[in-house]
Amino acid sequence: MGDRSMEDKLEEVLKQYPCEVRTRRRTRGAFLLETDQGLRLLKEYSVSQARIEFEERIKQLLGQQGGLLVDHTYKNNREEYFTKDNYRNNWVMRRWYAGNECDIRDQRCVLRCASYLGRLHALMQLGNEEGESYIRKESVQQEMERHNKELKRVRSYIRGKKQKNEMEICLLGSYDLFYDQACLAQTLLQESGYEALWQETLEQGKVRHGSYSYHNVLFVGKDLAVTNFDRAEIGIQVRDLYDFLRKVMEKNGWQAEFGKSLIDAYDRERKLEETERRVLYAMLLYPEKYWKLVNFYYNSRKSWMSSKNLEKLLRIRAQEEKRACFLRELRPLLCGAC
């Protein structure tokens, strides 16, 4: 779509809000607006009315009960969350903040983010007031089982090929190591008490952010702001901690002491149950990066080898010794004598 058409769309949308826009610029699939009422983010958002109300209910809990900074969605002149442009596309306007994303290599910043996640989770509990629309459809157990079946299927496929490229040879060479980890992780999860934790999550309506990464946490002066609740759902909250911890560790060389500090920072804000610790360990043990590469390979053009994906696979293998050491160090903290 040309610049003129985009300008027309924006003008049609902006005139439906009670604020004066002074400047605007593109940013990650949205527009950052400086208005007479503060910073705003304007973006297309194709979800249901019920979905956006679910997100705003969570943000109200965080803002009203915890005093936390979040990207509330503003209503337009008709008191509606969605605003249509002249092509009938839905747009939303959210509160935004002048701040910096978390620097994933700055340990103090990362520790603050881990602590903040604990505060979020302590508040994100809806009870039985919400329906089943936003409950995670697939449990972690079901997901691991599906992924392990996919790993076996891909191995059989590659083994059956007469000619194998370098990527396929490398995948097979790594398979036994990572598949053994995947099976052990599945077993540990089954023995962790996960089912009871899942039932407790459903009964209490516990919500996870779904995309808690350093991109979605802004440092605003002395405060933090959490954004992008697009993937929030009723689900195992410790999965957010797992996602955050794994990405941080990958960027910081799997430093065990740093990992322990992150877990402790979270735990001080929201006490981890013993079951949650065991679930966290099982998820950390699972070779997710390896599975992702295998899955991408199988669902893409197998006759064409991506040098970038081969580099990723070689990097995963190169990091494995550090990752294994990290897991050995964390096991007593998360599993005790299990």
For 302-325, what is each residue's pLDDT tens digit? 656 678 888 999 999 999 999 999
- Contacts of residue 269, Cβ cutoff 8 Å, sequence gap at least 6: 115, 116, 117, 118, 119, 121, 122
Q: What is the pLDDT of residue 130?
A: 54
> Chain-wide mean pLDDT for the chain?
91
Closest by CA to 218, choosing from 102, 107, 106, 114, is 102
Closest by CA to 249, choosing from 240, 259, 241, is 259
Over residues 64-92, the pLDDT tens digits come to 888 899 999 999 999 999 999 888 889 99
Structure token pair of residue 183: 């099976």
Give me the mean pLDDT over the 208-234 stretch. Answer: 94
Closest by CA to 322, choosing from 273, 222, 253, is 253
Give me the mean pLDDT over the 234-254 stretch. Answer: 95
Q: What is the pLDDT of residue 153?
A: 94
Q: What is the pLDDT of residue 134?
A: 76
pLDDT over 80 at 136, yes or no = no
**Measured between alpha carbons, how far is 121 from 65 in angstroms, rounded to an integer?**
12
**Measured between alpha carbons, how far is 220 from 71 in angstroms, rounded to an integer?**
13
Q: Which residue has the higher pLDDT, 299 or 337?
A: 299
Give me the mean pLDDT over the 94-111 stretch. Answer: 93
* 129, burial (CB in 10 Å: exposed 0-12, middle 13-18, buried 19+): exposed
Q: What is the pLDDT of residue 305?
A: 63
What residue type is 99 in one-letter code? G
What residue type is 50 in one-letter code? A
Please count the residues of the chain. 338
Over residues 11-36, the pLDDT tens digits come to 889 999 999 999 999 888 899 999 99
Structure token pair of residue 186: 């599945």
Question: Which of 2-6, 48-52, 62-66 has the weakest average pLDDT?
Answer: 2-6
Global pTM reads 0.92
Question: Which of 100-104, 249-253, 305-309 has the weakest average pLDDT?
Answer: 305-309
Q: What is the pLDDT of residue 336?
A: 72
Q: What is the pLDDT of residue 301?
A: 66
Phi-psi region of 193 (alpha: psi -120 to 50; beta: other; left: phi over 0): left
**Measured between alpha carbons, how far is 79 from 9 in angstroms, rounded to an integer?**
20
- Contacts of residue 88, Cβ cutoff 8 Å, sequence gap at least 6: none
Q: What is the pLDDT of residue 11?
A: 87
Helices (H), the chain: 3-14, 49-60, 66, 107-123, 140-159, 166-190, 194-204, 238-251, 256-269, 274-285, 288-298, 307-335
Please compute, for residue 14, the number of CA atoms within 13 A of its CA located in the half-sphere on the CB side.
Answer: 20
Q: Give the three-state DSSP class for 24.
A: strand
Q: How confident is the model at residue 338 (pLDDT cuts 50, 70, 90)?
A: low
Q: Give the three-state DSSP class for 96.
A: coil
Q: Give the three-state DSSP class for 43.
A: strand
Over residues 156-214, the pLDDT tens digits come to 999 998 888 888 999 999 999 999 999 999 999 999 999 999 999 988 999 999 999 98
Closest by CA to 22, choosing from 37, 8, 7, is 37
Q: What is the pLDDT of residue 302?
A: 60
